[in-house]
């Protein structure tokens, strides 16, 4: 399978703060790729650079084998993004927002209408027709953002914490759609804090640590010695690997 995402020496700085530093990795077509890291490690900044929200300070991003930046309009048509803060227009209804989205990605009016109706129905949002998005609960907002990301049938999907605040039924539905999505040869790149979910859902993953440094990349479960992590702590679970690599410890607080 060819690489859909290729990242070479990617760095992003905001003033004196380095959000990500010299990231290099690739993602194969058809994989469900988990991008993991602790809070503030640069996951969302990486997605922002890979989806064209912002331009990196240095480094190269290639999507579908072509150089990608924030002005790559044609490549943007082939990707779907669910950003960190969802990016919803609070004064629109869900149907209006999705219709706008579909039209912006070049879908015809009738096709947009059909897909929007089906998505709203499937995501249990059809009953909220008269409500502006600003009045939606956080879980409902997440569903709308997810619907917008998949509406135009992208070949590559970027999802930033897609399951946070969504109820179990919604999570199960989204997972089943993502599995079907990758079964068709399309690619999903997602970030999550829930390592158990990542371990069960993803076939490949990468871990970045504070300062945006990549410290592990491999298949799940690991297939080579390199991917199994430190020799003294053999891979038992993604959580164990994550903790051993990032040095996270449960602190014992004498006053707690």
| Cβ 250 to another protein shortest distance, Å | 27
Asked if 53 touches another protein (CB under 8 A), the answer is yes
Residue of 3, 28, 30, 132 interacting with another protein (CB under 8 A): 132
Asked if 93 touches another protein (CB under 8 A), the answer is yes
Given strand 17-28, what is the order of strands in its sheet? 17-28, 3-14, 58-63, 66-67
Cβ neighbours of residue 105 closer than 8 Å, sequence gap 6 or more: 77, 151, 152
Whose Cβ is closer to another protein: residue 31's or residue 112's? 112
Whose Cβ is closer to another protein: residue 6's or residue 128's? 128
3-state SS, residue 222:
coil
**CA geometry: angle 146, 193, 133, nearest 5 deg:** 30
| Cβ 73 to another protein shortest distance, Å | 5
CA-atom Rg of the chain in angstroms:
19
Strand partners, 23: 10
Residue of 60, 92, 126, 215 interacting with another protein (CB under 8 A): 92
Q: Are 164 and 132 in contact (CB under 8 A)?
A: no
204 vs 202: CA distance, rounded Å: 6
Whose Cβ is closer to another protein: residue 131's or residue 233's? 131
Asked if 168 touches another protein (CB under 8 A), the answer is no
| Cβ 105 to another protein shortest distance, Å | 6
Cβ neighbours of residue 171 closer than 8 Å, sequence gap 6 or more: 163
Q: Which stretch binds another protein (CB under 8 A): 79-87, 166-174, 179-187, 201-209?
A: 79-87
Asked if 175 touches another protein (CB under 8 A), the answer is no
Residue of 26, 96, 126, 167 interacting with another protein (CB under 8 A): 96
What the block records as the tokens of 134 is 């600003």
Residues of the shown chain interacting with another protein in the complex, contacts defined by CB under 8 A: 14-15, 51-54, 70-71, 73-74, 76-77, 81, 83, 85-93, 95-96, 99-101, 103-106, 109, 130-132, 134-135
């Amino acid at each position: 399978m060819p690489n859909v995402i290729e990242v070479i020496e990617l760095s992003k700085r905001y003033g004196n703060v380095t959000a990500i530093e010299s990231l290099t990795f690739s993602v194969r077509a058809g994989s469900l790729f988990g991008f993991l890291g602790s809070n503030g490690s640069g996951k969302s900044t990486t997605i922002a650079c890979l989806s064209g929200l912002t331009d990196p300070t240095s480094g190269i991003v290639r999507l579908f084998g072509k150089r990608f930046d924030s002005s790559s309009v044609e490549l943007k048509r082939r990707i779907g993004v669910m950003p960190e803060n969802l990016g919803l227009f609070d004064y629109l209804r869900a149907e209006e927002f999705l219709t706008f989205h579909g039209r912006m990605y070049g879908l015809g009016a009738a096709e947009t209408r059909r897909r929007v109706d089906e998505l709203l129905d499937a995501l249990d949002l059809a009953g909220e027709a008269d409500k502006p998005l600003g009045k939606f609960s956080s879980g409902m907002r997440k569903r709308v953002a997810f619907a917008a990301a998949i509406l135009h049938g992208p070949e590559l999907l970027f999802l930033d914490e897609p399951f946070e605040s969504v109820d179990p039924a919604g999570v199960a539905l989204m997972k089943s759609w993502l599995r079907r999505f990758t079964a068709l040869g399309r690619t999903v790149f997602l970030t999550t804090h829930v390592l158990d979910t990542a371990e069960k859902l993803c076939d490949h993953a990468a871990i970045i640590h504070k300062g945006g440094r990549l410290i592990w990349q491999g298949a799940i479960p690991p297939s080579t010695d390199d991917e199994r992590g430190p020799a003294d702590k053999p891979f038992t679970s993604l959580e164990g690997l994550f903790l051993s690599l990032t040095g996270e410890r449960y602190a014992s607080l004498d006053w707690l």
